[in-house]
Amino acid sequence: MQIRDYIVYGLLILIIGGVLAWAAIQMMGKTKGEWNEETRRLARYRAKHWSYKEKVASLKSYLLPSAPDTHFWPALANAQGKSALASKRIEGKVAWRSAIEQPLGEAPRLYFTAEFPMLSNGKEAAMPEVLLTRSAALSTQSEAQTLSLKDGQAEPQWQLRTSEPDAAAELLNANMRDALATITDLIGAHFVGQYATILVAYTTQEEDREALMDQLGTQALQLGKVIPERFWV
């Protein structure tokens, strides 16, 4: 082999090695940047007294830890959740839990469950189980009532499922429907006991999740304010 061949091979090795080193540096830099952003996001969650779990095995058990039996829960019994957050009860706010469900072949949806606290007079919320859905994908029963969130407005009909129609009609009064109508991207709502669960189409990037949680927390607080007195026992 001639000296020229050694020089050519040497140059090729240097070029290939340089390309591989550059690619490795770029990948390491990107990974480090993503890691740093996630670390900062989790630090902000902790500062707000929020806990975080990457996955939860049972979406329902996580969101409704002490609810009575349900018959109209909008997710499958074995549905899992990801990117789960939970807040502690802070004065002036409701305690809540949230997780994202990714049904196979469907768009992700976010569950936000508020747990309404006991009132100063010792009464607790005891709402009937009611499921209100806009998306046909959330409704598995053909027999369902329909209603609109705002009277006199042409909008998609919502499906209502409950075993207590009279109590459900009282719960979903004009004030409650108005409060639900303010929630952006709402696709469903579930009420049972002391829990109200808001379902929204999840179109937010994870880095914007914090602002969405604050917004839903404020809207959930408004739902609690319009629960009829009958359902505080």
List the pLDDT tens digit at each of the 233 positions of the chain. 566 666 666 666 777 766 676 665 665 554 445 568 788 888 888 888 899 999 999 999 999 998 778 999 999 988 999 999 999 877 668 899 999 999 888 889 999 999 998 888 999 999 999 999 985 545 545 456 777 787 665 565 788 999 999 999 999 999 999 999 999 999 999 999 999 999 999 987 777 899 999 999 999 999 999 999 999 99
Length of the chain: 233
- Please give the Cα distance from 49 to 20 (Å, whole number): 43
Best CA proximity match to 110, nearest among 73, 84, 132:
84
DSSP 125: B
Q: At what angle do helices 209-225 and 174-181 cross, to 10 degrees?
A: 170
Are 158 and 148 a contacting pair, CB within 8 Å?
yes
- Decide: pTM greater than 0.85: no
